[in-house]
Structure 1
Amino acid sequence: MNVQLPIGRELFEPRRPGSKDIAWCPGCGNFGIRNILISALAELGLKPNEVAIISGIGQAAKMPHYINANGYHTLHGRAIPIATGVKAANPELTVIAEGGDGDMYAEGGNHMLHAIRRNPDITVLIHDNQIYGLTKGQASPTTMVGMKTPTQPWGVFEKPFNPIALAVALDASFVARTFMGYFKESVEILKKAIRHKGLAIVDILHPCVSFNRINTYAWYREHTYWMEDGPFDRETAFRKAIETDPLPLGIFYINEKPAFEEQVPAYRKDRTPLWKRKPKLELVEKFFEGKRG
């Protein structure tokens, strides 16, 4: 990768780096996404103690183990609600929810829908390799029709889920897609997503070198293109979102609106983060007295 890496990246490198500590296959696109994310955080001038990375289950969800920042490896598909809670408890943190296309769109699909409604100030990064990697290659929600897998030997017949079209249709506040093979462009998109006030959804296309022999590095370069303009108005963004071959890359849609934390009753009068507030013991005692009564 012939790129100029930003100063400050070293802060986010694990204290005991080494390939033996990373459980991804050699050549996996997750390595590239990790480099993109670390570079984006460094270029934004953030420090490890200012960042929290929340993940579910899967190969992509191992990311908190490989970046020196606050991390929480939670249940399958549950990264978004945990990230929402972390941000609500401490709005001063930069919170990132991370997972694969199965983790976020299958097990976590319902949470994605309601996060769009709530609009928490978090960034959701989906590692979209169109396959389940951790569980050895069964079809995911974004797997292409006709692909044969260990659990679909006859070939996938369901139409792939379109997360970009869904997010635009539900009026999400920031919707983007990139391919991790475009390093500089991806870093810029992640920086804009992280800076965005509200829910930022970034679908990151990347290859699975072990279980998906169709959607390779070469395939993504041949079947994607960068949109010249954008973000667009909602109607135009939706029309771009339903394009399938080639797949458009870039920022589709931005809709500035109040974030979830700004509307939580606990913050209407006092903007002090919940974790910094001292408990009012008299209220606690009154609560338990009521329970005993």
Structure 2
Amino acid sequence: MPNPTYIPQDFKSDQYVRWCPGCGNFAILNAIYKALAEVGVSPANTAVISGIGCSSRLSYYMNTYGFHTIHGRATAIATGVKVANPALSVWQFTGDGDCLAIGGNHFIHALRRNIDINIVLHNNEIYGLTKGQFSPTSPKGMITKSSPYGTIERPFKPAELIFGAGGTFFARTVDVDIPTSVETMVAAAKHHGTSVVEVLQNCVIFNDGAYKMISTKELRAENVIFLKHGEPMLFGKNKEKGLTLEGFNLKAVSLGGRGVSAKDVLIHDATTQDFVLHQKLAAMSAPDLPIAMGVIRNVEESTYDDALVNQIHEVQSKSRIKTFEDLLDSIDSWEI
């Protein structure tokens, strides 16, 4: 249930929102307003950090603390903000170019350290702000301004990168599905550690229709599975399909066919430390298997910021230096 203390309007700034008409960023912005109101942390205790790109304009539209940083450095700044003030709820909004290209090193080390920040990754598989060059997530062969004959690079799959770096929370949604976006962002806020919500986002100008297989409710019913912890992995318009394991591989089956029943369908466990199944779920793609949405992984590990605060307190408790005057008295000095 929404937190009665705040409403979405409380998190809206007075700035005019400037994105191309039809851009998926509008839906993402609407979702974060609703999610933050539900989480119930005050705007004065929230910080929104962004880098460079269309998605990174979002920090201007938030009635919170905000920092529009430089290209690829949003994760580093978000880390510093959290370490300097652990009480803040820190959100980073970033694109596939900003986060996975120039910012890739900062991104993977935040995941490795498990800093308690929330990263919303807008993935439109293109550089939009700089007018249509291919990005680290652009499909191989995609024709763009910078690959007129088709890109020859293999794309990053964000989930694989996140799991490889030891990520503790990963969720996925699509921009037009605001309820699922809100649900995953709320879950991310409640997670203690680095959370990543990948939003599959349409760029109406330079990559329109990138996610056309899931752009309508009818198509999503057949090509998407919404995972919920503790519930069977069912999909289809009438939940008539499910996921099972065949050897080491996932398989989509129709219930009632060839003796398959609901009891044969896998139950989603987002909290298991064994992330092999999480990886398989995140790697699924239509039409052979449904695209996984919702919270795929949500495990608890110690965080960098907690460890740092504890270390500082431990060192302080053992040190004879308690004040700035103590520090001055501890070093060599001369009277002239």
TM-score band w.r.t. shorter chain: 0.7 to 0.9
Amino-acid identity (%): 38
Q: Where in structure 2 are there 5+ consecutive unaligned residues?
A: 228-232, 234-267, 317-321
Paired amino acid for 2:180: E
Q: Where in structure 1 are there 5+ consecutive unaligned residues?
A: 271-278
Structure 2 distance, partners of 1:11, 1:269, is: 40
Paired amino acid for 2:323: K
Counterpart contact for 2:119–2:194, Cα < 8 Å = yes
- Summarize the Cα distance change of 1:118–1:218 in structure 2 as closer, same or farther, 3 Å threshold: same
> TM-score, normalised on structure 1?
0.86
Per the TM alignment, residue 144 of structure 1 is displaced from its structure 2 partner at its CA by 1.4
Structure 2 distance, partners of 1:156, 1:34, is: 31
Q: Which residue of the other structure, out of 307, 315, 318, is the alignment partner of 1:263?
A: 307
Per the TM alignment, residue 171 of structure 1 is displaced from its structure 2 partner at its CA by 2.5
Match of 2:33 in 1: 38
Aligned residue for 2:111, secondary structure, equals: helix
Q: Counterparts of 1:39-118 in structure 2 under 5 Å?
A: 39-118=34-113
Q: Which has the higher contact order (CA 8 A, sep 6+)?
A: 1
What CA deviation, in whole Å up to 9, does each residue of 1:165-224 have, x standing for no partner? 221233211111111211111101100101100110111111000110241556545454
Larger of the two Rg values belongs to structure: 2
Counterpart contact for 1:102–1:132, Cα < 8 Å = yes
> TM-score, normalised on structure 2?
0.76
Per the TM alignment, residue 5 of structure 1 is displaced from its structure 2 partner at its CA by 11
Counterpart contact for 2:3–2:38, Cα < 8 Å = no
Q: Which residue of the other structure, out of 245, 250, 255, is the alignment partner of 2:294?
A: 250
Counterpart contact for 1:174–1:255, Cα < 8 Å = yes
In the alignment, structure 1 residue 225 sits paired with structure 2 residue 225: yes
Q: Counterparts of 1:123-142 in structure 2 under 5 Å?
A: 123-142=118-137
- Summarize the Cα distance change of 1:225–1:5 in structure 2 as closer, same or farther, 3 Å threshold: farther
Match of 1:273 in 2: none
Counterpart contact for 1:230–1:251, Cα < 8 Å = no
Structure 1 distance, partners of 2:193, 2:89, is: 11
Paired amino acid for 1:243: M
- Summarize the Cα distance change of 1:5–1:46 in structure 2 as closer, same or farther, 3 Å threshold: closer
Alignment size in residue pairs? 276
- Summarize the Cα distance change of 1:97–1:287 in structure 2 as closer, same or farther, 3 Å threshold: farther
Structure 1 distance, partners of 2:57, 2:83, is: 23
